[in-house]
C-alpha cells in the first residue's frame, strides 16, 4: 500500500526547492506535477481524499510522482522574492529536479504536468531545448481566451465590485468540490505579469513543443473558454507536436485535481503517460534496429 508522499528540500543555485514526492518501486517514468497559482504541491495529494491523490495513485501504478513548489513558493519564497525571470524559473526547476532524482530510478524519463498557472512553467520547460527529452506534456485548466463569466467578473471588479467573484469562478459549481479543502498559498508578484501575458506567450511557446501533448479542461470550466471551443483553440497551436490529444473531464470545474472527479482525471492522465511510454518504446526500438542495420 502506498503511504503519504514525502516532503523534500534540495539546495540549488543559491536557493532551496521544496516539494512532495511519492516513489514507485522500479518506476517506468516520473511525473513532474507543477501546481497552479496561489496553491501548493498538496494540490496533487487531494487532502482528506487519499484515493484521489495523484501522488499516491501514480506511485501505486508504477510511476514516481514529484510535485515541487514552483520557484517563488515554499522554501524558495524568502530567498527569491517577487521578481524571478522566466529563464530563472526554468533553470531552477530543471536543476531542482536533477537534484531530487539523481539517486533515484527515473525509468524512461520525465513527463510534465501543469495545472492553471503551472502550465506557464510546464510549457516553458517543454519548449526549452532540454525539454525535447521529456516523454510528454499534460496541461489542464488553462487557455488562450477567457470565459464569458470571467470577462463579466473582471468588468465588475474594475467597476468597484467584489473581487471574490473572480476567485469563486475557480471553485464553482460548489457541488463539484463538496467536502474538498481549498489548498491555498500566497503568490509571488511576478505571477500577475505572467498571467496577464499568458495568452500571447502560449501562442509563442506551443509551436516550439514537439513532444506529445494532452490538453484537459473540466466540463464546468468557468475561468477559461470552455470546451470544446477552448480545447480546439489551444490544440491548433501545437503545430510541431507529434501527437495532440484533447480531453473534456466530466463533472469537473477549474481545479481538476481537487474535485469529485479528481480520481477519474488522474486515471486518464496516467493512461496518457502510458501511451507516451508506448511511443517512447517504439522510437527506441526503431533506433536500435537502425543501429543494428548500420553496424
Q: Other C-beta atoms within 10 Å of 277: how many?
A: 19
Let me know: does 123 contact 93? Beta carbons within 8 Å. no
Category of 29 on φ-ψ map: left (φ > 0), alpha (ψ -120 to 50) or beta: beta
* Residue 97: per-residue pLDDT: 98
Q: What's the alpha-carbon Rg for the chain, to the nearest Å?
A: 19
* Residue 292: per-residue pLDDT: 41
Strand, helix or coil at 50? helix
Let me know: does 56 contact 50? Beta carbons within 8 Å. yes
User: Kind and range of the H or E element at 214?
Assistant: strand 213-218
The residues pairing with 29 across neighbouring beta strands, listed in sequence order, are 63
Q: Other C-beta atoms within 10 Å of 122: how many?
A: 28
- C-alpha closest to that of 255 among 58, 94, 52, 74: 52
Strand, helix or coil at 236? coil
Gap between the Cα atoms of 129 and 139, Å rounded? 19
pTM: predicted TM-score of the whole model, two decimal places? 0.93
**Residue for grid cell 511576478:** 190
Helices (H) and strands (E) in the chain, counts: 9, 8
User: Kind and range of the H or E element at 67?
Assistant: strand 63-68
Furthest-apart CA atoms within the chain: distance in Å: 72
Q: Which domains does the chain have, with CATH numbers?
A: 6-294 (3.40.50.1820)
- Spell out the alpha helix ranges (H) of 86-147: 86-101, 118-127
Q: Other C-beta atoms within 10 Å of 267: how many?
A: 12
* Residue 161: per-residue pLDDT: 63
Gap between the Cα atoms of 206 and 123, Å rounded? 7
Going residue by residue through the chain, which has 295 residues, state the pLDDT in tens, using 9 for 90 and above: 688 999 999 999 789 999 999 999 999 999 999 999 999 999 999 999 999 999 999 999 999 999 999 999 999 988 877 788 999 999 999 999 999 999 999 999 999 999 999 999 999 999 999 999 999 999 999 999 999 999 888 888 777 666 667 778 999 999 999 988 889 888 998 998 899 999 999 999 999 999 999 999 999 999 999 999 999 999 999 999 999 999 999 999 999 999 999 999 999 999 999 999 999 988 776 554 445 444 4
Gap between the Cα atoms of 239 and 81, Å rounded? 36
Q: Which three cell numbers stand for residue 35?
A: 501546481
Amino acid at each position: 500500500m502506498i503511504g503519504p508522499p514525502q516532503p523534500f528540500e534540495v539546495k540549488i543555485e543559491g536557493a532551496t526547492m521544496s516539494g512532495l514526492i511519492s516513489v514507485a518501486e522500479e518506476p517506468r517514468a516520473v511525473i513532474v506535477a507543477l501546481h497552479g497559482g496561489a496553491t501548493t504541491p498538496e494540490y496533487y495529494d487531494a487532502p482528506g481524499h487519499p484515493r484521489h491523490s495523484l501522488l499516491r495513485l501514480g506511485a501505486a501504478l508504477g510511476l514516481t510522482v514529484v510535485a515541487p513548489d514552483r520557484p517563488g513558493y515554499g522554501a524558495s519564497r524568502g530567498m527569491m522574492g517577487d521578481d524571478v525571470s522566466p529563464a530563472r524559473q526554468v533553470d531552477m526547476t530543471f536543476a531542482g529536479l536533477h537534484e531530487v532524482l539523481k539517486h533515484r530510478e527515473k525509468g524512461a524519463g520525465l513527463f510534465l504536468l501543469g495545472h492553471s498557472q503551472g502550465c506557464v512553467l510546464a510549457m516553458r520547460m517543454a519548449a526549452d531545448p532540454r525539454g525535447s527529452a521529456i516523454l510528454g506534456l499534460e496541461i489542464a485548466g488553462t487557455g488562450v481566451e477567457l470565459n464569458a463569466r470571467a470577462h463579466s467578473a473582471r468588468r465588475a471588479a474594475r467597476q468597484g465590485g467584489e473581487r471574490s467573484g473572480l476567485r469563486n469562478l475557480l471553485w464553482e459549481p460548489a457541488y463539484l468540490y463538496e467536502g474538498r479543502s481549498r489548498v491555498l498559498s500566497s503568490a509571488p508578484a511576478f505571477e500577475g505579469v505572467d498571467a496577464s501575458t499568458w495568452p500571447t506567450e502560449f501562442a509563442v511557446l506551443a509551436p516550439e513543443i514537439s513532444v506529445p501533448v494532452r490538453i484537459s479542461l473540466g466540463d464546468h470550466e468557468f475561468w477559461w473558454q470552455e470546451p470544446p471551443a477552448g480545447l480546439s483553440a489551444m490544440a491548433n497551436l501545437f503545430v510541431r507536436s507529434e501527437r495532440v490529444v484533447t480531453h473534456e473531464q466530466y463533472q469537473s470545474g477549474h481545479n481538476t485535481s481537487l474535485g469529485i472527479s479528481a480520481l477519474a482525471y488522474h486515471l486518464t492522465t496516467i493512461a496518457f503517460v502510458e501511451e507516451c511510454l508506448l511511443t517512447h518504446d517504439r522510437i527506441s526500438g526503431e533506433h536500435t534496429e537502425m543501429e543494428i542495420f548500420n553496424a
